[in-house]
Amino acid sequence: MDCLKKKILSEGLVLSETVLKVDSFLNHQLDPSLMMEIGKEFAKRFHHQKISKVLTIETSGIAPAFATALVLNVPLVFARKQKTVTMDTDCYTAEVHSFTKNTTHTITISKKFLSADDHILLIDDFLANGEAAMGLIQLVEQAGATVVGIGIVIEKSFQPGARKIKEKGYPVESLVQIASLQNGTVQFLNEVNHYE
Amino acid sequence: MDCLKKKILSEGLVLSETVLKVDSFLNHQLDPSLMMEIGKEFAKRFHHQKISKVLTIETSGIAPAFATALVLNVPLVFARKQKTVTMDTDCYTAEVHSFTKNTTHTITISKKFLSADDHILLIDDFLANGEAAMGLIQLVEQAGATVVGIGIVIEKSFQPGARKIKEKGYPVESLVQIASLQNGTVQFLNEVNHYE
């Protein structure tokens, strides 16, 4: 997705060999027009799938997932990272470790928003080690629902997340794939055929 | 906003005299079409204002704020509730107490996303005691920027938030105003003239 690559090259900050900061357009300040382009692109890539709901995880996944759900005209559910006093006790839960923040938390989703006949498109902003995506997959599997695929805005292809998820048999569509962040430089993976 | 009132009456759950749960369409599962109607309504109510950015606070404010920013065609910034390792150290900060969760946290926004010439529309899902809104106002004031107004999806008018913010001189536009949650029932405040 060329407009996203350009945005990464012009505004992204490489903080280390594993951390790319994109807070000017993706996870602190958001560009609504770009986000809608992202939503349209995910809808296009999964157009051959039956999708009943989009699922993401708070916080940075919400905007791209919302744009996708809007284009697909289906509800969006976001998993919570911790229970609040107004949440159901009746939740599906999974443990997710964040390597960036070096924390482990429980992600939860109310059972009433996932049912066995749901066909779920997972959306998230980043895919690195795959912890968040695997946690979301676990929530869907607990409900007996179907994961139709995982849409990722920025995949760090030098980390094992995408491989792990594909090995489980789930299609991954990443709008941008980053091969390396070495020497303070973003190197994209060669284009792949997304519409095989 | 009649469609929102209907949704509250049909899907909202009154958990106590102060807590209304609307997780089926506002803060866990989201209805993207309703959210766009909310965005259009906020844009209409503040159409006479110059707005350069929409500001909200994670998590539940993001979807209605995104819809509003999309309609207004301006960037959206969401304040963070805690620092992450990828955040700037160069942030505006404010303390916010949540009575619902009985916690106090620091909200932060990177200084590079708020400047003195910004005209900021604040959007949030709920207004109760006004702690989150007052925190957001503090962030904007630290930047020397202008708060053009505060748009609230659901105002709990029996709590002091709206009054406190209006006393500070900021216009508040609430799409729905709830007069009481007593006896397990949602009672709306009488319609007010929004376009004075």
Tokens 């949704």 map to which residue? B7
> Could A66 and B30 be called an inter-chain contact, meaning their C-beta atoms sit closer than 8 Å?
yes
Contact of B37 with chain A, judged by CB distance below 8 Å, is answered with no
Give the separation between CA A133 and CA A138, rounded to whole angstroms.
9
- What's phi and psi for B88, nearest 5 deg? -60, 150
* Residue B87: strand, helix, or coil: coil
pLDDT band at B89 (very low <50, low <70, confident <90, very high): confident
Question: Distance from first CA to last CA of chain A, Å, rounded?
Answer: 16
Contact of B85 with chain A, judged by CB distance below 8 Å, is answered with yes
Which has the closest alpha carbon to B192: B169, B174, B171, B168? B174
Question: What pLDDT, in 10s, does the model give residues B39-61?
Answer: 999 999 999 999 999 999 999 99
Chain-centre distance for alpha carbon B79: 12
Contact of A76 with chain B, judged by CB distance below 8 Å, is answered with yes
User: Tell me, what's the pLDDT at B30?
Assistant: 97
User: Tell me, what's the pLDDT at B195?
Assistant: 46
Question: What pLDDT, in 10s, does the model give residues A95-113?
Answer: 998 877 788 889 999 999 9
Q: What is the mean pLDDT of residues A70-92?
A: 82
Report residue B70 as tokens.
Answer: 């999309």
According to DSSP, residue A134 is labeled: H
Handedness of CA A28, A30, A36, A42 (dihedral sign): negative
Give the separation between CA B41 and CA B36, rounded to whole angstroms.
9
> Could B78 and A84 be called an inter-chain contact, meaning their C-beta atoms sit closer than 8 Å?
no
Give the DSSP H or E segment for A94: strand A91-98
Cβ-Cβ contacts under 8 Å, A17 against chain B: none
Which one of B7, B29, B34, B125 makes the best mutation probe of the A interface by having the most chain A beta carbons within 10 Å?
B29
- pLDDT score of B99 more than 90: no
> Could A75 and B112 be called an inter-chain contact, meaning their C-beta atoms sit closer than 8 Å?
no
Give the separation between CA B152 and CA B60, rounded to whole angstroms.
12
Contact of A9 with chain B, judged by CB distance below 8 Å, is answered with no
Amino acid at B18: T
Question: What pLDDT, in 10s, does the model give residues B133-155?
Answer: 999 999 999 999 999 999 999 99
* Residue A78: strand, helix, or coil: strand
Q: Are A158 and A128 in contact (CB under 8 A)?
A: no
Of the candidates A58, A59, A101, the beta carbon closest to that of B85 is on A101
* Residue B43: strand, helix, or coil: helix
Give the separation between CA B150 and CA B72, rounded to whole angstroms.
15
Give the separation between CA B114 and CA B111, rounded to whole angstroms.
6
Give the separation between CA B192 and CA B25, rounded to whole angstroms.
24
Choice between B59 and A193, residue whose per-residue pLDDT is larger: B59
Contact of B70 with chain A, judged by CB distance below 8 Å, is answered with yes
Contact of B112 with chain A, judged by CB distance below 8 Å, is answered with yes
What ipTM describes this predicted complex?
0.92
Contact of A58 with chain B, judged by CB distance below 8 Å, is answered with yes
Give the separation between CA A180 and CA A62, rounded to whole angstroms.
26
pLDDT band at A85 (very low <50, low <70, confident <90, very high): very low
